[in-house]
Structure 1
Amino acid sequence: MHVLATAGHVDHGKSTLVRALTGMEPDRLAEERRRGLTIDLGFAWTELDGEVLAFVDVPGHERFVPNMLAGAGPVAAAMFVVAADEGWQAQSGEHLAALDAFGVRHGLLVVTKADRADPAPVLASARERLAATTLGDVPAVAVSGRTGEGLPVLRQELLALVRRLPAPARTAEVRLWADRAFTVRGAGTVVTGTLGAGTLRAGDELLLAGTGERVVVRGLQSLGEAREEVAAVARVAVNLRGVDRDRVRRGDALVTPGAWENTREIDVRLRGDKAADLHRQLVLHVGAAAVPCRVRPLGTDTARLALASPLPLRAGDTGLLRDPGEHRVPAGAEVLDPAPPPLRRRGAATARAHELGRGDLAAAHVRRHGAVPLARLRALGWEPAGVTVGEWAVDADLLAALPARAAEAVESFTAADPLAAGMPADALRRALGVPAALLPAALEGTGLTVHDGLVLRPEREGSLPESVGRAVAALLRSLAEEPFRAPEAGDLAALGLGPKELAAAERAGRLLRLTETIVLAPDALRHAERVLGGLAEPFTVSEARRALGTTRRVAVPLLERLDAEGVTARDADGARRLRVPRGRPQ
């Protein structure tokens, strides 16, 4: 399917022409048919030589220009209609300025009512005006919707036009601008729009971009027929589950979850009036949306727009700025950066204008943030920039500096807490200001490793601060005489060995901790196994205590550790016997 906007001032002539081409009535409101005046968007379609053409018939009267923009914004081609007996009108110029601002590049000029006046002068004048816009030198046809004169030629030109249109991106993410929203009894909320890219399927989950609400596609219609799937380009009606009618309005967008970001501030390039000449309060029209905005000039043709409500926009999107007070379109606007940096310092606007002029804004965005998920760059409309690490785009200078910064951070942490087992990996990540996915790159070539969530320097393993080492050595000398006479808590405190010191000594392999305060020499388990091997089996805790020459305070946790290590096995009555592991001589 191909979707064209029918633009131009003459309402009755446009509607008559669409009826002649399609056999359908585009004016759906009784008031429109009574007054011969298009008030809101109308829709009709036909098939020509196997090609389906849908027309969005937009209002021509100046009072309904916002409705016209809602219909023309999402389409890629236009049929521009001028009446031979009325000629070029002020609203013809506003419609053309709108198409030019939207950047519409494909079109066809039709001079209607050729049976009422000589169409040649109007055709020549209108074609010259269109040639000065993005439409360029378009084909032109003179027709009469009443007599049928020129309609065969018009159909051929329409076919040629749609066959020149670029192929739609049917695998792209969906962004459907709602140009109508209404309720159908028994079905619920229905939204219509022009699907410019992507594919919609019954059962799809979408986001209502304005509110973030998740909705489900209950059903689809296109050209009046129910469909399980509709691919771009197409006029589509979407029956939604999960949202009330009063939550959806014209200009809202249904989008693929996770693929778009809402923004309230955008940097744009202007085509038309200079930035400094624009009124500070205008209306941005993009897709079917119309949002008031505040304009801040940056350079001659660049500006920052602060939007009254958020929109799902990407770099490369085009829209227009309209001055409703003066009833004109002063400029078209191309989105350069949908996530611009704040402008806080003196001269920031000028510096930003220079940056916008240099281009490569994706790389500038990555430089500002250091690391950006590739999915976010795509959501902003940019290709990957910087260095790709997994699913992240990383600034090359940051990546090169990370190992030295990581080594310095770990060294500072160790100096501040020499008894710590290591620096928590998450603490290092926060210190570096990078995502966890970049930690391996940050540690590359540093000699640092990650074990159990801690960043360690291998050469420090087994090392202890000098004072702690002396205290541990003294403790071990006392244990050499009575290996299972663990010191009391007071003795440990007198040596300066608190919980942190004991934990560090255990990590260094200098002590064995049975509990927080019961410590033995590191070879105590092997020594105990040899001693217990001399007892008749099974043996009791008391027998083991006497053989080991210790107290019940030490014997109980020591035997429990031997149980856990598989050295001893406990019987149902609490007595124990030695196990003989495979490969160990009896």
Structure 2
Amino acid sequence: MHVIATAGHVDHGKSTLVRALTGRDPDRLEAEKRRGLTIELGYAWTTLPDVGDVAFVDVPGHRRFIGTMLAGLGPAPAVLFVVAADAGWSAQSAEHLRAIDALGLRHGLLVVTRCDLVAPERAEEVAQSGSERIAESSLGHVDSVVISAVTGAGLEDLRVALARLCSRLPQPRTDGRVRLWVDRSFTIDGSGTVVTGTLGAGTLHRGDRLAVGDRVVTIRGLQSLEAPQETVAATARVAVNLRGADASAIGRGDALLSAGDWRLTSVVDVRLREDAPDLPREARCHVGTASLRAYVRSLTPGAARLTLDRAVPLTPGDALILRDSGRDGAIWGAVVLDIEPPALRRRGDGARRGAALLDVGAAELAALVRTRGSLTDAEAAGLGHDLAGLSGVSRLDCHPEMLGGDEFVRIGSRVATRDVVSQWTSALEAAVDDQARHEPLRPGLPLAAARARAGLPDLATTELLCRAMALDISGGRVAREGTRPDLGAKSAALEGIVARLGDRPFDAPERPELEAAGLGVQELAAAEALGRVIRLADDLILLPTAPALAMRTLAALPQPFTTSAAREALASTRRVVIPLLEYLDRRGWTRRLDAGHREVVR
């Protein structure tokens, strides 16, 4: 599943857009429906071809609910930024973009809504202006789509753009410790306490024991996309039925944690995403779905120490937002660097500590990559590092075995150790060879399966590594160069049918004949891949030369011609001729005029 949050000014059509995409109303409160205004977080989901399930977290746009907006945006890996064509860029558009930039989000899509209310030129102008503003944020350059949720215009283009966005999202970590920030808590008669949230990493199982605050609870049941589940892996919207806690004791901003795996802290040192010499002494700190009061001590421009009003589960690399509600909503983004900072007792300790936090040495970054095996530019930035400063890095522009002696290898936006790349290379070769050995009719391994078998972190890295290894990628499948399907002992039977078709090119074999020869759908698909036949249907085959031969005959008929005339001229049957004519139509060689007539396109 992919999870995407909305963002944008109030009344620009975020909820209407989600409703049009999913067929579900994200607004669940009666006050929201009555006023046409999103007050609380809303949720809806849909399924996209070749992508799977996509869940949307719909956030309020009104500035009075900025805290609720941040609670929805914080745990989401991607954002759908909405601007209305008839209103253009507005105050909350800018504020929401500042929040996105402060969180360091890197994946998003601009949607210009209500294009039915303005001229096309105006909608494109709004899209261009919005794209330019967004490009200056952490999102960078994003795709833009102009739509109307009322007329449906552009919705298919939006689904295509959403699929493209989802394909670019980093592969979530599904092992290791769990931290589920709670965004809603309630009670269901007969079930008890239920909490919901966005699971960004790890996996939940029914029966797991988790910690929330100082309590230990047990997962009594799980739901995702309104269906009961035994297991839910990141990334996912999930509802968790808990045993051992009342709903009144858990609320937004609490977190369900792998018991014993997290340390709660109330004092952290952070790196600011930009210099902030005018930080307030007190601010609201937003992390995950939590909103905390923070006392801020500036250590040096670019670094600060936060003392929070309660202890929360944080880890280095967490993104958070500091918000000064007293200064027109001024916000700053920050990254957690240290959750157990040393005490500052002597004069000058703060400045020295700030300088140390900002002095990210190459040795520290190299150790981080070695520990993790690989790191993306985005992941490194979230931890306060820049992979561009790492030395001893070779770019993957040839087979990994031919690279120089550098310790690290850059593959697209990821840097990995040489040892890890060697493991991936060996595992990929073994997976590809295993597929060819066990499935000779379909020797190509699906790219997603290759990624999973080799333990690669994402499809983009998998594809780049395959190309560097000179593996063939075709139709979403990967194989060694020159690998072809192998029919084995059934080749002789195929050649007998090919010989007969050479004499009677439109006398396609019937299914019993194919079955007697041991040629099923997979064998025929392999024969087509080898260029021995073409398939007009799963079990309807002709020679590759048959379409050209048919055109020679059809062109000699009086135009337009009927299906019956074509059948008689080709000495064939309707079972063969109708699919053949449809094939010629798709090629643009013939044109269907009505139910009974066609003509040759000259």
Q: Which runs of 5+ in 2 are unaligned?
A: 366-382, 385-602
Within 1, Cα distance between the matches of 2:82 and 2:205? 35
Q: 1:324 — aligned with what?
A: 325
1:275-290 aligned within 5 A? 276-290=277-291
**Equivalent residues of 1:11, 1:59 under 8 A apart:** no
What are the Cα deviations for residues 330-363 of structure 1, in whole angstroms up to 9, with x where unaligned? 3101001111001011110011012112237998
Q: Cα distance, 1:272 vs. partner?
A: 3.8
Q: 2:495 — aligned with what?
A: none
Q: 1:40 — aligned with what?
A: 40
**Equivalent residues of 2:275, 2:301 under 8 A apart:** no
**Equivalent residues of 2:12, 2:83 under 8 A apart:** no
Query: Counterpart amino acid of 2:270?
Result: V
1:97-496 aligned within 5 A? 97-117=98-118, 118-208=122-212, 211-272=213-274, 274=276, 276-359=277-360
Q: 1:81 — aligned with what?
A: 82
SS at match of 1:122: helix
Q: 1:548 — aligned with what?
A: none
Within 2, Cα distance between the matches of 1:360 and 1:298? 19
Within 2, Cα distance between the matches of 1:290 and 1:239? 24
1:55 and 2:59 correspond = no
Query: Counterpart amino acid of 1:291?
Result: L
**Equivalent residues of 2:5, 2:73 under 8 A apart:** yes
Q: Rg bigger for which structure?
A: 1
Q: Cα distance, 1:182 vs. partner?
A: 0.7
Query: Counterpart amino acid of 2:303?
Result: T
Distance 1:301 1:331, change over 3 A: same
Query: Counterpart amino acid of 1:194?
Result: T
SS at match of 1:239: strand
What are the Cα deviations for residues 47-74 of structure 1, in whole angstroms up to 9, with x where unaligned? 0004110000000001111110000000
**Equivalent residues of 2:302, 2:358 under 8 A apart:** no
Within 2, Cα distance between the matches of 1:73 and 1:55? 13
**Equivalent residues of 2:12, 2:113 under 8 A apart:** no
Within 1, Cα distance between the matches of 2:195 and 2:275? 35
Q: Give the TM-score normalised by structure 2.
A: 0.59
Query: Counterpart amino acid of 1:174?
Result: V
What are the Cα deviations for residues 159-187 of structure 1, in whole angstroms up to 9, with x where unaligned? 00001001110002100000001111111
Distance 1:227 1:87, change over 3 A: same
Q: 1:13 — aligned with what?
A: 13
Within 2, Cα distance between the matches of 1:226 and 1:361? 47
What are the Cα deviations for residues 315-334 of structure 1, in whole angstroms up to 9, with x where unaligned? 00001111122342431010
Q: Cα distance, 1:18 vs. partner?
A: 0.7
Distance 1:300 1:12, change over 3 A: closer
1:516-527 aligned within 5 A? none
SS at match of 1:298: strand
Distance 1:360 1:253, change over 3 A: farther
Within 2, Cα distance between the matches of 1:331 and 1:204? 37
What are the Cα deviations for residues 107-129 of structure 1, in whole angstroms up to 9, with x where unaligned? 00000001112212211111111
**Equivalent residues of 1:10, 1:83 under 8 A apart:** no
What are the Cα deviations for residues 284-310 of structure 1, in whole angstroms up to 9, with x where unaligned? 101101101011001110000000111
SS at match of 1:186: coil
Within 2, Cα distance between the matches of 1:125 and 1:30? 35
SS at match of 1:152: helix
SS at match of 1:194: strand
What are the Cα deviations for residues 414-434 of structure 1, in whole angstroms up to 9, with x where unaligned? xxxxxxxxxxxxxxxxxxxxx
Distance 1:182 1:343, change over 3 A: same
Within 1, Cα distance between the matches of 2:361 and 2:53? 39
Within 1, Cα distance between the matches of 2:9 and 2:274? 22
Within 1, Cα distance between the matches of 2:287 and 2:267? 14
SS at match of 1:104: coil
Within 2, Cα distance between the matches of 1:310 and 1:319? 15
1:4 and 2:4 correspond = yes
SS at match of 1:121: helix
SS at match of 1:119: helix
Within 1, Cα distance between the matches of 2:337 and 2:363? 10
Distance 1:362 1:259, change over 3 A: farther
Distance 1:328 1:302, change over 3 A: same
What are the Cα deviations for residues 459-492 of structure 1, in whole angstroms up to 9, with x where unaligned? xxxxxxxxxxxxxxxxxxxxxxxxxxxxxxxxxx
Distance 1:257 1:361, change over 3 A: farther
SS at match of 2:115: coil
Q: 1:410 — aligned with what?
A: none
Within 2, Cα distance between the matches of 1:253 and 1:329? 27
SS at match of 1:183: strand
Distance 1:362 1:348, change over 3 A: farther
Q: Cα distance, 1:266 vs. partner?
A: 0.5
1:498-513 aligned within 5 A? none
Within 2, Cα distance between the matches of 1:4 and 1:129? 20
**Equivalent residues of 2:281, 2:295 under 8 A apart:** yes
**Equivalent residues of 2:12, 2:84 under 8 A apart:** no
Structure 1 vs Structure 2 CA RMSD: 1.9
Distance 1:10 1:145, change over 3 A: farther
Within 2, Cα distance between the matches of 1:93 and 1:363? 36
Within 2, Cα distance between the matches of 1:172 and 1:358? 30
Q: 1:526 — aligned with what?
A: none
Query: Counterpart amino acid of 2:327?
Result: E
Within 1, Cα distance between the matches of 2:327 and 2:25? 33
Q: 1:68 — aligned with what?
A: 69
Within 2, Cα distance between the matches of 1:269 and 1:296? 12
Within 2, Cα distance between the matches of 1:319 and 1:203? 31
Within 1, Cα distance between the matches of 2:190 and 2:363? 47
Within 1, Cα distance between the matches of 2:236 and 2:18? 18
Q: Which runs of 5+ in 1 are unaligned?
A: 365-380, 383-586
Distance 1:40 1:361, change over 3 A: farther
Q: Cα distance, 1:41 vs. partner?
A: 0.3
Within 1, Cα distance between the matches of 2:349 and 2:184? 41
Within 2, Cα distance between the matches of 1:329 and 1:37? 24
**Equivalent residues of 2:267, 2:339 under 8 A apart:** yes
What are the Cα deviations for residues 64-105 of structure 1, in whole angstroms up to 9, with x where unaligned? 111100000001100000001111111111111111111110
